[in-house]
A and B are shown apart, each in its own frame.
Chain A
């Protein structure tokens, strides 16, 4: 299936048979798992970006229709989970000062909220193709829009958790003023870059898992274990500076390691991310976007057959 563009054939000789406008012509041919014409694909994708946005908004709306309490679980769920993990860490560590306690809570909260975004994005994105079956069979459109929509939906669920973090820590500091938490600092300027890397990494991974899920429908089950192990391998419940020697690789080899450790360093320690972390997250973002995009886009024309 090749959607050829007719850039070279723009000129129709006048006086002869009228030929079709190349822009309107689509040609579908046999394909081997290679990429389609990316120029056409991406312009199609860009033209329908609003669809992703609205699909995210509508599916969010449909999920929580008539349930105001339902939506508050989006914040309550990670918040309560954070408290559980906080207790766990506290017990393992055998207590400690109040100040150290609040610092740990801060790290777990923001780390978990951020990790939750990636987890939601990947889980939801992985299901987006198989659950979008009817839409896919009725219309032809770039299917990458569906995982993108999952990412936007997860983003909307992530955004309200950030003020929650600030409120919890702000209140905590009223009682424990000596805790070493710097919420607002100059290093906040690094936030947009870190978050963009987070979005791209999560999107790239969701493309990979969405593709696998089309071929193996139990990928979702496997994903629950993968994400759990992944959480423990990410500096959420521990901080990355406790790792010595080659163990430091755990943070770098983990696609989210550098992002989460940068988020904590910005919002808890008030420090800029280390250049090592910035490099690692940039490389991961580029790598996963290319790999995820290639795997997904080169296979997506087969998805309709397998749904």
Chain B
């Protein structure tokens, strides 16, 4: 299908079109040359299983919106996020991304444990394509926002608690001035104070027409922040719409109703 590349509206942030992601996972532990040799002498083939992470899903997200993605484990949420970030290639279909993307796709990812928080901030910024001086400029802002206990920023990251981890990671990803911010379970370990702070930060980003996509199992987070929710199940979109409706139906599907426990953020 020919696509008219000229007609991408300026207010379109992300367009996912008939996106499918499939990959093979090896059933055995490790693929090694040794195993390959042994198997080829026996005339066997590697045992693999096809995983259909996403099946022909489509949606558009406009700039300035906060979109939540909900669904059970293995529904394809993380695969969707990674393909929007350009990390996982589509098996079929197309993803159009308009703007600079910043990612926080899994907790503690991209951190070198032996290095200090400060060093990791520099590395993270450089990997995201910032220059050294741009990072130096933002360093204070990042450190202040993360608000770690005194002196921790210069200690190795392995000494951090998981909450401190996510504080630094979140501060870095929002300080990069992204047009599109992708957050995967980023807020689950922060305490109430930091959570409130990060909510405010995200609302602030939204006001300046930035786009945020959040994956979370914390349904109250989703309801508090998002203006649209996508419910994924087994790689397909079950429902898309306003948070109240979709979250309610999702809870009904889970057959637990709107119980306080499932609304609590962990």
Contacts and interface: CB of A to CB of B under 8 A. Distances in A.
B103 interface: yes
B87 A136 contact: yes
Contacts of B132: 50, 54
A54 B10 contact: no
A241 interface: no
B10 A135 contact: no
Contact of B5 (A9, A54, A141): A9
Given A138-B105, A138-B106, A305-B88, A54 B122 contact: yes
A140 B10 CA distance: 23
Contact of B99 (A24, A30, A51): A24
Interface stretch (B109-117, B160-168, B245-253): B109-117
Interface stretch (B32-40, B136-144, B187-195, B208-216): B32-40
Contacts of B103: 138-140
A216 B30 CA distance: 8
B30 A217 contact: yes
B129 to A, nearest CB: 6
B13 to A, nearest CB: 9
B9 A27 contact: no
A55 interface: yes
A6 B5 contact: yes
Interface string A70-85: 0000000000000000
Contacts of A304: 82, 87-89
B94 interface: yes
B86 A216 contact: no
Contact of B112 (A58, A137, A222, A305): A58
A51 B132 CA distance: 9
A232 interface: no
Interface string B88-132: 111111111111110111101111101100010011001111011
A19 B6 contact: yes
Interface stretch (A59-67, A201-209, A255-263, A276-284): A59-67
Contacts of A301: 89
Interface of B: 5-12, 23, 30-34, 36, 82-83, 85-101, 103-106, 108-112, 114-115, 119, 122-123, 126-129, 131-132, 156, 179
Interface of A: 1, 3-4, 6, 9, 17-21, 24-31, 44, 47-48, 50-51, 54-55, 58-59, 61-63, 65, 134-141, 215-219, 222, 301-302, 304-305
Q: Which 3 A-B pairs have the closest CB atoms?
A: A62-B114, A140-B86, A51-B126
